[in-house]
Amino acid sequence: MSEGGQGGGDAGRSTSEEPWPVRVVSQKIGAWIARLGWVWVDGQVAQISRRPGATTVFLTLRDPSADLSLTVTTNRDVLDAGAPELREGARVVLHAKPEFYAARGTLSLRADEIRQVGLGELLARLEKLKKLLAAEGLFDRARKRRPPFLPGRIGLITGRASAAERDVLTNARRRWPAVEFRTVNVAVQGPSAVPQIIDALKVLDADPTVDVIVIARGGGGIEDLLPFSDEALCRAVFGCRTPVVSAIGHETDTPLLDYVADVRASTPTDAAKRIVPDLTEEVRLIGQARSRLERAVRNLVDRESHRLDSLRSRPVLARPQVMVDQRAVEVTALRDRAGRCLDHRLGAAGEDLRHTLARLRALSPAATLDRGYAIVQRADGHVVRAASEVTKGDALRVRLAEGELSATVDG
């Protein structure tokens, strides 16, 4: 396998058998960079070095979104002409030529023009970034999470010994004395602010005991608050699993962090009010709820007592024996009536039965025999109805009303 590249001179093409020495690689990188020519570069000034009497000024130019920096050299006259009041943390646009120092393997920029980005341009860039983040859904209300009613531990990101830190801690503990904090102190302005805040976010978001994270700063000018509109910081907050509260004390201008955070507090003091309940107020509300509950129970007991009194005052409960006696008389009367009805029905049914039996007797063969008739049967049991049904010498049985006779046909 080989690693190729365009090269000149005696080095030729690199192969695994004939690799380039480090110095050759460095020289070729320098040659490639030299062909890039002059470029316009945008960045944030992280450091300025102006040595008294020196004509050369050294800058460290940082890309806030990538946490990447380059050294910039320029003439003092260039800086004085384009940005005489340049300070650390300012945004600049410069015209520069990339230079690669092959002996050290370092890249730098040589600038012949430097322009400090004005407030209007800064605001225009922020508005453009705001629209981009909004289009990507970073500001959507549907994704915002509500912090817990009473956090077990609060993560606080703020400047060391700052008024913002004091306001959050003091007011939160005044409202809920037992509240716990894990505080991470960071730079809250300047070029180091964004990377420090992002690192603090990662630490607190990874802590399972932290239920909510507060990013606090006590206000400042729009340029001082630029770190809180940084794209990398906004995306880091968006990616947090823990709810984030933005507490940048600036009412006039709204940093982009306020739009991304789950909760926006107008000041660090307001953040304390939003993240912990007021113990005194909660005790008062519990007392009110208890009073309402007691009144409701008393009212229910009173209503049921009145209802019971009303039931007890009814005759059936006041003199229950009277009602029993009345019902006993009614039961006796009904029983007598039922007995008479039953006797009447039984008598009528008996009479009907006697008539039916009399008719049955009148129509029965036995009744006919009683009137002097007889039933003549042959030996096989056939009833003889005509003389032609027998012949001389046939044995006959004659059934009378009382008893039977045997006979023989003579002729």
Residue 363: per-residue pLDDT = 77
Q: What CATH number does the domain located at 124-277 have?
A: 3.40.50.261
How many CB atoms sit inside 10 A of residue 215's CB?
29
What are the DSSP calls for 105-143, one per residue?
A: TEEEEEEEEEEEPPHHHHHHHHHHHHHHHHHTTTT-GGG
The pLDDT value given to residue 404:
87
**Do 82 and 116 contact (CB within 8 A), yes or no?**
yes
Listed by start position, the domains of the chain span 36-117, 124-277, 316-362, 366-408
The pTM of the whole model exceeds 0.95: no
Q: Is 7 exposed, middle or buried (0-12, 13-18, 19+ CB in 10 A)?
A: middle
Contact (CB, 8 A) for 265 and 243:
no
CB burial class (10 A; 0-12, 13-18, 19+) of residue 299? exposed
CB-CB neighbours of 103 under 10 Å: 9
- CB burial of residue 53 (10 Å; 0-12, 13-18, 19+): exposed
Task: Give the torsion sign (CA, 188, 193, 194, 195).
Answer: negative
Q: What is the identity of the amino acid at 114? A: I
pLDDT of residue 10: 45
Residue 205's contacts (CB-CB under 8 Å, 6 or more residues apart) are 213, 240, 241, 242
The yes/no answer on whether domain 36-117 falls in CATH 2.40.50.140 is: yes
237 contacts 204 by C-beta, under 8 angstroms: no
pLDDT at site 126: 83
Give Cα 243 distance to the centre of its chain: 14
Q: What are phi and psi of 224, to 5 degrees?
A: -65, -30
**φ, ψ for residue 107 (rounded to 5)?**
-110, 140
Low-confidence ranges of the chain (pLDDT < 70): 1-12, 65-67, 119-120, 250-253, 316
pLDDT tens, position by position, 249-287:
766 668 999 999 999 998 999 999 999 999 988 899 999
Closest CA to 214 of 232, 190, 192, 188: 188
